[in-house]
Amino acid sequence: MAGDSAASAPGRSGTRPERPVGRQGADPGRGRLFEGGLLQGGVQGSPVLRLFMRWVRRPLLPVMRLWRRNIQLRVVATTLLMSLGVVLLLGFVVIGQVRNGLLDAKVKASQSQATGGFAVAKQKADDEAASGGAGGATGSGDAAADADGRQSQSVIQWMSDLVESLSSGGAGAFDVVTLPVGDDSGGGRSPRGSGNVSPTDSVPGDLRERISDSTTAAQSYTRIVYKDGKESQPALVIGKQVNDPNGHPYELYYLFPLTQEEKSLSLVKGTLATAGLFVVVLLGAIAWLVVRQVVTPVRMAAGIAERLSAGRLQERMKVTGEDDIARLGEAFNKMAQNLQVKIQQLEDLSRMQRRFVSDVSHELRTPLTTVRMAADVIHEAREDFDPVTARSAELLADQLDRFESLLADLLEISRFDAGAAALEAEPIDLREVVRRVVGGAAPLAERKGSRVRIVGDQQPVVAEADARRVERVLRNLVVNAVEHGEGKDVVVKLAAAGGAVAVAVRDYGVGLKPGEATRVFSRFWRADPARARTTGGTGLGLSIALEDARLHGGWLQAWGEPGGGSQFRLTLPRTADEPLRGSPIPLEPKDSRRNRGLAAAGPARGGEEKRATVPVQPGGGQAPPLPAHAAIAPHLASVTPAVDPSALPGSGARVVPRPTGGTRHPGEPPAHGPGTDTYDARPDADGRKDPSEPGEAFRGR
Partner 1 sequence: MKGRVLVVDDDTALAEMLGIVLRGEGFEPSFVADGDKALAAFRETKPDLVLLDLMLPGRDGIEVCRLIRAESGVPIVMLTAKSDTVDVVVGLESGADDYIVKPFKPKELVARIRARLRRSEEPAPEQLTIGDLVIDVAGHSVKRDGQSIALTPLEFDLLVALARKPWQVFTREVLLEQVWGYRHAADTRLVNVHVQRLRSKVEKDPERPEIVVTVRGVGYKAGPS
Query: Which one of residues 81, 143, 302, 639 is an interface residue with partner 1 (CB under 8 A)?
Result: 639
Q: Which of residues 288 and 403 has its CB atom nearest to partner 1 in the complex?
A: 403
Cα dist. 564→232, 359, 508, 639 in Å?
Answer: 101, 46, 6, 35
Q: Which of residues 471 and 516 has its CB atom nearest to partner 1 in the complex?
A: 471
* Chain-centroid distance, C-alpha 365: 54
Query: Which one of residues 374, 395, 616, 630 is an interface residue with partner 1 (CB under 8 A)?
Result: 374
Closest approach of Cβ 578 to partner 1, in Å? 17
Closest approach of Cβ 398 to partner 1, in Å? 13
Return the axis-axis angle of helices 26-42 and 46-69, rounded to nearest 10°: 110
Q: How many residues bind partner 1 (CB under 8 A)?
A: 34
Q: Which of residues 429 and 446 has its CB atom nearest to partner 1 in the complex?
A: 429
Q: Where does this chain touch partner 1 (CB under 8 A) — which range of 89-97, 290-298, 557-565, 636-644?
A: 636-644
Query: Which one of residues 8, 309, 369, 459 is an interface residue with partner 1 (CB under 8 A)?
Result: 369
**b/e for 538-560, b at 16 or more Cβ within 10 A?**
bbbbbbbbbbbbebbbbbbbbbb
Total length of the chain:
701
Q: Which of residues 290 and 643 has its CB atom nearest to partner 1 in the complex?
A: 643
Q: Where does this chain touch partner 1 (CB under 8 A) — which range of 138-146, 259-267, 296-304, 634-642?
A: 634-642
**φ, ψ for residue 554 (rounded to 5)?**
-110, -175
Per-residue binding string, partner 1, 308-347, x by CB under 8 A, is ----------------------------------------
What residue type is 438 in one-letter code? Answer: V
Q: Does 457 bind partner 1 (CB under 8 A)?
A: no
Per the CB < 8 A criterion, the answer to whether 699 and 520 are in contact is no
Closest approach of Cβ 643 to partner 1, in Å? 6
Separation between Cα atoms, residue 169 and residue 256, nearest integer Å: 13
Closest approach of Cβ 580 to partner 1, in Å? 21
Q: Which of residues 390 and 462 has its CB atom nearest to partner 1 in the complex?
A: 462
Query: Which one of residues 39, 77, 103, 420 is an interface residue with partner 1 (CB under 8 A)?
Result: 420
Q: Where does this chain touch partner 1 (CB under 8 A) — which range of 43-51, 268-276, 421-429, 511-519?
A: 421-429
Closest approach of Cβ 381 to partner 1, in Å? 10
Closest alpha carbon to 476 in 643, 680, 697, 649: 649
**Measured at the alpha carbon of residue 111, what is the angle toward residues 108 and 114, in degrees to the nearest 5?**
150
Q: Which of residues 39 and 462 has its CB atom nearest to partner 1 in the complex?
A: 462
Q: Which of residues 216 and 638 has its CB atom nearest to partner 1 in the complex?
A: 638
Closest approach of Cβ 616 to partner 1, in Å? 32
The torsion of the CA quartet 380, 381, 385, 389, rounded to 10 degrees, works out to -40
Q: Where does this chain touch partner 1 (CB under 8 A) — which range of 3-11, 135-143, 283-291, 637-645?
A: 637-645
Site for partner 1 in 201-260 (CB under 8 A): none
Query: CB under 8 Å to 673, separation ≥6 — which residues?
Result: 561, 593, 594, 597
Per-residue binding string, partner 1, 423-442, x by CB under 8 A, is -x-xxxx------x------
Measured from the Cβ of residue 640, the count of other Cβ atoms closer than 10 Å reads: 15
Cβ-count burial of 568 within 10 angstroms (0-12 exposed, 13-18 middle, 19+ buried)?
buried
Query: Which one of residues 131, 153, 370, 534 is an interface residue with partner 1 (CB under 8 A)?
Result: 370
Closest approach of Cβ 387 to partner 1, in Å? 24
Q: Which of residues 53 and 411 has its CB atom nearest to partner 1 in the complex?
A: 411
Closest approach of Cβ 399 to partner 1, in Å? 13
Give one DSSP letter per residue of 90-109, joined into a string.
HHHHHHHHHHHHHHHHHHHH
What residue type is 675 in one-letter code? Answer: G
Query: CB under 8 Å to 529, separation ≥6 — which residues?
Result: none
Tell me the three state secondary structure of residue 169: coil
Q: Which of residues 141 and 367 has its CB atom nearest to partner 1 in the complex?
A: 367
Closest approach of Cβ 375 to partner 1, in Å? 10
Question: H helices of 381-421, where?
Answer: 387-417
Site for partner 1 in 395-414 (CB under 8 A): 404
Closest alpha carbon to 329 in 319, 321, 340: 319
Q: Where does this chain touch partner 1 (CB under 8 A) — which range of 137-145, 371-379, 518-526, 656-664?
A: 371-379
What residue type is 572 in one-letter code? Answer: L
Site for partner 1 in 376-395 (CB under 8 A): 376-377
What residue type is 131 in one-letter code? Answer: S
Measured from the Cβ of residue 338, the count of other Cβ atoms closer than 10 Å reads: 10
Q: Which of residues 458 and 638 has its CB atom nearest to partner 1 in the complex?
A: 638
Closest approach of Cβ 432 to partner 1, in Å? 8
Closest approach of Cβ 369 to partner 1, in Å? 4
Query: Which one of residues 415, 431, 435, 451 is an interface residue with partner 1 (CB under 8 A)?
Result: 415
Site for partner 1 in 349-368 (CB under 8 A): 358, 361-362, 365-368
Closest approach of Cβ 545 to partner 1, in Å? 18
Closest approach of Cβ 362 to partner 1, in Å? 4
Query: Which one of residues 1, 171, 422, 681 is an interface residue with partner 1 (CB under 8 A)?
Result: 422
Closest approach of Cβ 494 to partner 1, in Å? 17
Per the CB < 8 A criterion, the answer to whether 587 and 567 are in contact is yes
What residue type is 22 in one-letter code? Answer: G
Closest approach of Cβ 412 to partner 1, in Å? 9
Site for partner 1 in 466-495 (CB under 8 A): 467-468, 471
| DSSP letter assigned to residue 668 | P
**φ, ψ for residue 178 (rounded to 5)?**
-120, 145
Separation between Cα atoms, residue 374 and residue 388, nearest integer Å: 18
Q: Which of residues 267 and 377 has its CB atom nearest to partner 1 in the complex?
A: 377
Q: Which of residues 404 and 483 has its CB atom nearest to partner 1 in the complex?
A: 404
Query: CB under 8 Å to 187, separation ≥6 — which residues?
Result: 152, 155, 246, 248
Q: Which of residues 538 and 595 has its CB atom nearest to partner 1 in the complex?
A: 538
Percentage helix, strand, coil for the chain under 3-state DSSP, each rounded to 5: 55, 15, 30
Separation between Cα atoms, residue 545 and residue 156, nearest integer Å: 119
Per the CB < 8 A criterion, the answer to whether 572 and 506 are in contact is no
Closest approach of Cβ 451 to partner 1, in Å? 23
Closest approach of Cβ 442 to partner 1, in Å? 14
Q: Which residues pair with 223 in a beta bridge?
A: 234
Cα dist. 387→372, 376, 382 in Å?
Answer: 21, 17, 9
Per the CB < 8 A criterion, the answer to whether 18 and 586 are in contact is yes
Site of interaction with partner 1 (CB under 8 A): 358, 361-362, 365-374, 376-377, 404, 415, 420, 422, 424, 426-429, 436, 462, 467-468, 471, 638-641, 643
